[in-house]
Amino acid sequence: MLATPGARAFTAGNLLARLPMGMFSVSAVIMIAGAHGSYALAGAVTATGLAATAVVAPWTARLVDRHGQARVAVPATAVAVLGSLSLVLCVHYDAPAWTLFVAYAATATTPNTGGMSRARWSHLHRGDAAALHTANSFEQAADELCFMLGPVLAASLCGALFPEAGTLTGAILLMTGILVFAAQRATEPPVAPRTTRAVSPLRTPGIPALLAVFLATGAVFGSLEVVSIAHAGGAILALQAGGSCVAGLVYGSLRPATRIGRRLLLCLAGMTALMSLPLIATATTDSLLVLAGCLLLAGAATAPTMVTGMTLIQRLTPQAQLNEGMTLAVTALLGGVAAGSAAGGWAVEHTGTATGYAAPMCAAALALAVATTTHGSRRRPT
């Protein structure tokens, strides 16, 4: 896959730019909570950034589709980096609390680096479903790797150096990575000619239902994170991400089934079944070793589900709106993470941490139910 001309260069830049995805929120919480002594304020600031991203990201992606990756990604990233630097200054000089919200909201202009990378693979391997399947699997494994390493790197920098070190490092990595990525013009998808006003991907048959599946899948991740942290601490979550990363690489080496809609149903069914393992483990034993093994297995279903869902988004979305379509999927996923975090927190508080593991299992079952209900109603062959 990396033997494709230009692939190594844009992949290296994209990985540099993507690593801060797992750094910024952790760094912001550590930095703000340390300066103001309030985790509530830190959580509210990061939640505001997430909400702003949900609104701004699809518009940024639409501009990328209309004007090209390099022309939009670089200035959009510059604005986001300035927002991060402003947050550091506001915290360091003890500015009023409202300035923290404004500064962190500015980071919402960060382009969807994973989506832009997948768009390049889609352009390079158009007509070759097997090669695109491998590329999408690699991209999902890269996402998992960044979410594993990012928080660890951020916490280590903030603890070993100074509280602002995580945010500053993330900003440098993001800007450097985007500049390297955007410089690879030979692999950049061409901007499609716009003879008529494009209709939003939300009006494309099959897309709204698929976004609902992504929303429920995000709830799996959000609830699993909160319940696991409450039950055993955050370090154990690396096993779930690790299992997903390995599964993504293995899944990419397999020959994909031709009927991708049915493949998504199988992946969701597998995720629902495997998400029951942590619940069974905590209900039957107090062993963290057993729970760790169950989380590792539970993670094995998430990457194949995400790969298949993203591939289906690529097939359903018009080529001229590919970045916007994939960004909408990520936005739905983030919305699900937020809802799942709230549901997981409620479950832990009212039923206990062990029973709380029912939340991600139910979210996975909901995703499967939505996909099953809508599978037969799609108008395009999948």
- pLDDT digits over 268-315, tens only? 999 999 999 999 999 999 999 999 999 999 989 898 999 999 999 988
State the pLDDT at residue 380.
Answer: 46
Give the integer Cα–Cα distance in Å for 266 and 261. 9
92-103 average pLDDT score = 92
State the average pLDDT over residues 143-159: 83
pLDDT band at 328 (very low <50, low <70, confident <90, very high): very high
Tell me, what's the pLDDT at 90?
93
Count Cβ atoms below 10 Å from residue 286 Cβ, excluding itself: 9
What is the spatial distance between Cα 286 and Cα 109, in angstroms, rounded to a whole number? Answer: 44
Number of Cβ within a 10 Å radius of residue 255: 9
- pLDDT mean over 71-89: 95
3-state SS class at 68: coil
Q: Report residue 197's pLDDT band, with 50, 70 and 90 as the boundaries.
A: low
Q: Check residue 173 and give its pLDDT.
A: 95
- Give the residue-averaged pLDDT of 11-23: 90
- Digit-coded pLDDT (tens) for 205-235: 899 999 999 999 998 988 888 788 788 866 7
What average pLDDT does the segment 88-104 reach? 92
How confident is the model over 351-366, as pLDDT tens digits? Answer: 888 899 999 999 999 9
Q: How many CB atoms lie within 10 A of CB 333?
A: 22
Within this chain, domains 1-190 and 201-382 share the same CATH topology:
yes
Sequence spans of domains, the chain: 1-190, 201-382
Rg of the chain, C-alpha, whole Å? 20
pLDDT number for residue 102: 94
Given this model, what pLDDT does residue 227 score?
Answer: 85
Cβ(367)–Cβ(223) below 8 Å: no
Residues in the chain: 382
Report the CATH architecture of 201-382.
Up-down Bundle (1.20)
Instruction: Return the CATH fold of 1-190.
Output: Growth Hormone; Chain: A; (1.20.1250)
Residue 381 pLDDT grade (very low, low, confident, very high; cuts 50, 70, 90): very low
Q: Using CA atoms, how far apart are residues 261 and 312, in angstroms rounded to an integer?
A: 8
Whether 130 shows a pLDDT value over 90: the answer reads no
Sequence-separated (6 or more) residues with CB below 8 Å from residue 295: 228, 236, 237, 239, 240, 243, 278
Query: How many alpha carbons lie under 13 Å from residue 338 in its C-beta half-sphere?
Result: 17
Specify the pLDDT at position 191: 85
Tokens of 280: 């069974």
Query: Per-residue confidence at 379, pLDDT binned at 50, 70, 90?
Result: very low
What is the CA angle 293-297-299, rounded to 5?
Answer: 115
The per-residue pLDDT of the chain, averaged, comes to 88
* Confidence grade of residue 195 (pLDDT, cut at 50, 70, 90): low
Burial 122-136 (b: 16+ CB within 10 A, else e): bebbeeeeeebbbbb
Return the structure tokens found at 88: 């550091």
